[in-house]
Structure formats: structure tokens, C-alpha cells
């Protein structure tokens, strides 16, 4: 199948390379010449496990191309995926300006029958809006080439996006035309190793699935964080509580962890968008409003624990040197969008502390102007042990594997005081005590 992918962010780049891997002829389009040049070298401009290897292989096999030529890409394709960003608007709604701009461009160049696939996360009703936009542009040209619009939401988690696409938990397709359903079923057949994972429905329902799934998972995280905070107050260990809870098949073991709050490009944005969609229909989504409120409060927790620790000794954080392990919003990515680390570090700096930070992937991202930039209160370190040098306390924000079994003796040598505030419950509290650490973690007394 000849496919054009419009947009080379996480979704577009992974979708394009995985479809090419199965033998489709794929051209990925972006208006950013620097990104396209980097992709042509076989390198993604962001960190994603396994992606560069697939890019290089499919460039070599000539099943994958990268271009800035939108018109030629559409003209030579049977199917066009829209995979551009839908950031949050000021009112919380999804900003569809990039999606509409792509739809307009398609309408301006379409010259044969096409299937248009909405891969971006878009509000209910967007498929119809894309359809009307393309019709309007064709009308201006005095042409009427046939096309259909299909909704095909993505369920890719950063850090495991390639695996998620190659071995999908489900494929959701929303279309009004039964023929489109069968074409999409054929497209995804090579990925469907397990039966019963292909779900077809109308476009509106498909558009809703992604928001429902992400909002549910976000609420589950906030519920766990709320329970963890209560456990800490009651002298209970949430790690043991969540294991016993997860044994109940109605609850399950997945996403049963406490932490410093969720972030990234999906959960916060999608919950806000769902709330806005509900408000536009005169419904107040109270639980999801509380999900966001609980999450924002949770992001301040680690800094509060550190401040309480020093207050116990009648000390402030002024001029204190603190170490932070982890800046990305989750392990496996360099993405810092809405990362809890942004709040943690900012809170500590506002309290007068100086911060030594380390992250295996996000160090370059952290130094961008929209994040920490060249803030003089922050020292960027080359490895996790350098970040500990003469620091009063270590805070762990992101659950990277290299943080799970460090050299604890080396940690004690580097730290001025063996104090660890663990936002990810990486260590056993009794073992940490036996090693000589003062150890605090989320959800434990």
C-alpha cells in the first residue's frame, strides 16, 4: 500500500516506520527541513527505543522516504495519515489548527481517490470537520475527487512506542464506509498476532476511545497517589497495600504505583480536552477535574518532604545543594513536557536551594529555554554519581533502570548526608535503613 504520513513527531515517525517495516511504501512529510535531514540520516530527533534501527533498515530497503514536498507525497499515495500535534489551547480544548491546516492542504492538491486517516488525538467530531474542510477546498478548485475520512487513534506509550505499534493491545478504527474498515483491517493484519484485537466502530466512537482510555488511566494514577498519601499518614505501607489491591481481578496490577504525579504530552492534555468537551455539552466532569487537581498537588510532594526534613533541624533550604535523579516525565524518553521534575526543581530553587541534576536521556532537553535553560541555580551533571557530589539530599523523580541498583556505598561517599527522597519506590526501606540511609518514599510512613 502507498501511504503518506503527515507529521514526524512521536506518532507520525513510529507509525511511518512500522508500516514500512511490513512492506508498505511510506513517505513521511514534515515542513521542518532540519528534522527531515536528520531522519534521512537514519536518526530520529528524539529518544525512542528501537526507532533509529528501523529507520535505517527501511531507508536502506527503500520502503521509507522523508520529504518536505507535501503535494508530491499526497499525489503518490492511496492513504494519507494525519499525525500532527493537537496541543492544549488556553481553555483546555485540543488545538486543531494543525489538523485543519493539513486537511486544507489535502483539499488543495488531491487529484485521485484517497482514504484520509486521523491518527492524531482529536476531539469527537473531528473526522466530520476534516471531511468538510477538504470538501470546501475542493469546491474552491471546482473539483470533486472522492475521499473518505477514517478515525484511527494511536495507543503508543513513549519509551515503548515501537513495541506498542508492532504488538498492539488493540487497533481501533472508526469509519462510516464498510470498505474502509476492511482496508484498515488488511493494513493492520501483519501486526495482529492475537485474534479479537481489531475494533471497528463509527468515527465519533473511535475518537472518544483515546480520551476515555487516557483519562481513566490518569484517574487511576491520581487515586493511587491519594491512597499513598493517606497510607503515609496512617503508618501503612502503600507498596504492600497496592500489591494486595492488585490481586483483585476487578482492579488489576497495572498502573498500581504511587509517584510524583503524571506528565508528558498525553495524559494532562487529553484529560483537559475531555473536560472541555463535556463542558461544551453542559456537563461538569468533576472526577476528572479532581484528577488534574490531585496530580498538580502531587508534583509538589517531594519538595515538601525535603523541606520538612530540614525544618526538623531548624534549617531552611537556602544555599543547600540537592541532587535530583531523573528529569524526563517517565523512563525511556527525553520528553520533559509537564514532567514532575519541572515542579520539583522549581520548588526547591524557590526555597533557595542549588540543584545538581542528572537524567540518562533528557539532559539536552532540560537545557532548552522552555525548560531550565542556563539557570545558574542548576548544575547539569554527566552521570548519577557526579550529581551526588557534596549534596545534602538525593531526590529520585524518574524511574530509570540505572537508578534501581546503584552502588549504595558510592552514594554515601558522595552525599554529605545519606538522605534519599524516593518518588518512585525503587528501594526496600528496611534495606536502606540497614545500609545507613535516611530514606523517605511516597506512600510510606
> What are the catalytic residues?
266
Strands (E), 338-418: 354-358, 378-380, 393-396
Q: Please give the grid coordinates belonging to residue 53.
A: 534501527
| CA–CA distance, 100 with 47 (Å, rounded to integer) | 28
State which H helix or E strand residue 225 sits in. helix 203-234
| CA–CA distance, 422 with 393 (Å, rounded to integer) | 11
Q: Order of strands across the sheet with 171-174?
A: 64-67, 25-29, 2-6, 79-82, 114-118, 147-151, 171-174, 198-201
| CA–CA distance, 327 with 347 (Å, rounded to integer) | 14
With beta carbons less than 8 A apart as the criterion, state whether 97 and 59 touch: no
Nearest residue to 145 (alpha-carbon basis) of 115, 168, 120: 115
Q: Please give the grid coordinates belonging to residue 361.
A: 536521556
**Other Cβ atoms within 10 Å of 313 Cβ, number:** 6
Contacts of 31 (CB under 8 A, 6+ apart): 68, 70
| CA–CA distance, 84 with 96 (Å, rounded to integer) | 9
> In sequence order, what DSSP letters do the residues of 157-175 get, joined into one string?
PTTSHHHHHHS-S-EEEE-
Beta bridge partners of 201: 174
Which DSSP state fits 94? Answer: B
**Other Cβ atoms within 10 Å of 142 Cβ, number:** 6
| CA–CA distance, 240 with 323 (Å, rounded to integer) | 28
For helices 10-21 and 51-60, the axis angle rounded to 10 degrees is 50
With beta carbons less than 8 A apart as the criterion, state whether 153 and 121 touch: yes
Q: Please give the grid coordinates belonging to residue 11.
A: 506518532
* Alpha-helix runs per DSSP H in 51-152: 51-60, 70-75, 97-109, 126-141
For helices 267-279 and 286-298, the axis angle rounded to 10 degrees is 150
| CA–CA distance, 272 with 94 (Å, rounded to integer) | 8
Amino acid at each position: 500500500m502507498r501511504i503518506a504520513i503527515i507529521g514526524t513527531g512521536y506518532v507520525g515517525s513510529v507509525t511511518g516506520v512500522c508500516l514500512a517495516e511490513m512492506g508498505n511504501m511510506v513517505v513521511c512529510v514534515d515542513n521542518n527541513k532540519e528534522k527531515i535531514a536528520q531522519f534521512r540520516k537514519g536518526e530520529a530527533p528524539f529518544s525512542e527505543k528501537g526507532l533509529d534501527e528501523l529507520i535505517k533498515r527501511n531507508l536502506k530497503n527503500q520502503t521509507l522516504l522523508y520529504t518536505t514536498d507535501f503535494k508530491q507525497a499526497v499525489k503518490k499515495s492511496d492513504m494519507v495519515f494525519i499525525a500532527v500535534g493537537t496541543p492544549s489551547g488556553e481553555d483546555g480544548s485540543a488545538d486543531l489548527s494543525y489538523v485543519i491546516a493539513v486537511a486544507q492542504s489535502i483539499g488543495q492538491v488531491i487529484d485521485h481517490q484517497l482514504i484520509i486517516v486521523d491518527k492524531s488525538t482529536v476531539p469527537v467530531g473531528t473526522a466530520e470537520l476534516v471531511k468538510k474542510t477538504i470538501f470546501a477546498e475542493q469546491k474552491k478548485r471546482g473539483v470533486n475527487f472522492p475521499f473518505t475520512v477514517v478515525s484511527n487513534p494511536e495507543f503508543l506509550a513513549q519509551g515503548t512506542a515501537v513495541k506498542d505499534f508492532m504488538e498492539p493491545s488493540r487497533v481501533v478504527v472508526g469509519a462510516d464506509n464498510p470498505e474502509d474498515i476492511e482496508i484498515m483491517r488488511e493494513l493492520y493484519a501483519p501486526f495482529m498476532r492475537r485474534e479479537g484485537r481489531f475494533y471497528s466502530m463509527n468515527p465519533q466512537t473511535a475518537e472518544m476511545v483515546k480520551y476515555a482510555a487516557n483519562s481513566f488511566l490518569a484517574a487511576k494514577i491520581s487515586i493511587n497517589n491519594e491512597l499513598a498519601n493517606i497510607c503515609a499518614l496512617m503508618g501503612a505501607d502503600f507498596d504492600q497495600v497496592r500489591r494486595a489491591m492488585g490481586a483483585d481481578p476487578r482492579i488489576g496490577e497495572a498502573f498500581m504505583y504511587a509517584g510524583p504525579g503524571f506528565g508528558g504530552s498525553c495524559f494532562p492534555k487529553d484529560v483537559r480536552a475531555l473536560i472541555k468537551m463535556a463542558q461544551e455539552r453542559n456537563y461538569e466532569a468533576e472526577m476528572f477535574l479532581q484528577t488534574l487537581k490531585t496530580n498538580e498537588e502531587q508534583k509538589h510532594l517531594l519538595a515538601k518532604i525535603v523541606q520538612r526534613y530540614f525544618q526538623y533541624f531548624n534549617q531552611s533550604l537556602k544555599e543547600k545543594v540537592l541532587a535530583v535523579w531523573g528529569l524526563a516525565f517517565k523512563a525511556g524518553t527525553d520528553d520533559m513536557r509537564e514532567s514532575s521534575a519541572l515542579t520539583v526543581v522549581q520548588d526547591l530553587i524557590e526555597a533557595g536551594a542549588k540543584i545538581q541534576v542528572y537524567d540518562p536521556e533528557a539532559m539536552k532537553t532540560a537545557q532548552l529555554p522552555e525548560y531550565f535553560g542556563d539557570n545558574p541555580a542548576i548544575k547539569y551533571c554527566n552521570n548519577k554519581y557526579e550529581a551526588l557530589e557534596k549534596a545534602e539530599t538525593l531526590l529520585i523523580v524518574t524511574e530509570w533502570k540505572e537508578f534501581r541498583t546503584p552502588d549504595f556505598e558510592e552514594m554515601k561517599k558522595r552525599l554529605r548526608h545519606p538522605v534519599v527522597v524516593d518518588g518512585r519506590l525503587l528501594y526496600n526501606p528496611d534495606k536502606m535503613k540497614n545500609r545507613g540511609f535516611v530514606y523517605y518514599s511516597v506512600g510510606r510512613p
